[in-house]
Copies of this chain bind each other. A is one copy, B any other.
C-alpha cells in the first residue's frame, strides 16, 4: 500500500530553544520510503541523526518556525497479533528486547504485577496480549481532556479515560507486568479520525515485534512507523528545552 504522510508543526519559540523532533518516517522493515521532503521555515540548520529507534532532527530554533514534512511510503502487509504467539522466558529473549520488560516513566509495570496476575494470570503469549487490549478497550473510554503530558498508566487505570498515548501506556504497562516485552511506537496512521500523530505499541512474541493499536481507531495495516522507545518520553514528535507556544499542527495520511 502506497501512502502519503504529511505533518506540519508551527510553534513560537520565544527564545533560542533546543529541539529534538521525531517526525520522519523510520527506515524500518516493512516500510520503504519512496520520496520525502523536509523544510524548516524560516531556515534553521537542523542536525539529522539516524538512531536505532528512529530518525532524529535536532538543533536550536527561535521565533515563529514551522517544520513541514512529507513522505511517500510503501507499506507492506503486516501480520496481526494473534492468540497463538508464544511468550518466551527471559532467558530466550534477544538481549536488546530486555529493556522493554522494565518499568519506565509512564509505564510503572512494577506496580501492576498483582493486578495482571489476577486478571490475566491464566493466559500467556498472544492470547494474554489480546486479553489485555480487550480489557483496555472495555474499561477505558477514549476522551480528550482527561489526561495531560504527565499522565501515567497508573492515572489512566484510575481515570478510565484518555487518548492514544494513555491507551498505549496502559497496554505497555500491563504487558510488561505480565512478562511480555512491550514498547511504544509513534506512527502516522491511515484513517485516524481526527488525524494526528498516533501512539501505538508493540509486543515481542514468537520471534518478533507485533504492532497493536489499543484504541482500535486505526488499522495496523495503515501504520507508518516513526520511532519506538520505552514510552512517550522517548518518542515525542517534539521535545524542547523550554516552553513553546503552539501555533498550528496538522497531520494527514492518505492512500495514493
Contact = CB atoms under 8 A, between A and B. Distances in A.
A159 to B, nearest CB: 6
A135 interface: no
A115 B160 CA distance: 6
A99 interface: yes
A98 B114 CA distance: 33
A158 B157 contact: yes
A contacts with B: majority SS: mixed
Given A56-B98, A104-B104, A105-B104, A159 B20 contact: no
A6 B49 CA distance: 42
B154 A110 contact: no
Interface stretch (A34-42, A63-71, A88-96, A190-198): A88-96
A103 B18 contact: no
Nearest to A157: B158
Interface of A: 18-20, 47, 49, 51, 56, 58-60, 89-91, 95, 98-99, 102-105, 107-108, 110-112, 114-115, 118, 139, 141, 149-150, 154, 157-161, 179, 229-230, 233-234, 241
Q: Which 3 A-B pairs have the closest CB atoms?
A: A103-B105, A102-B233, A18-B90
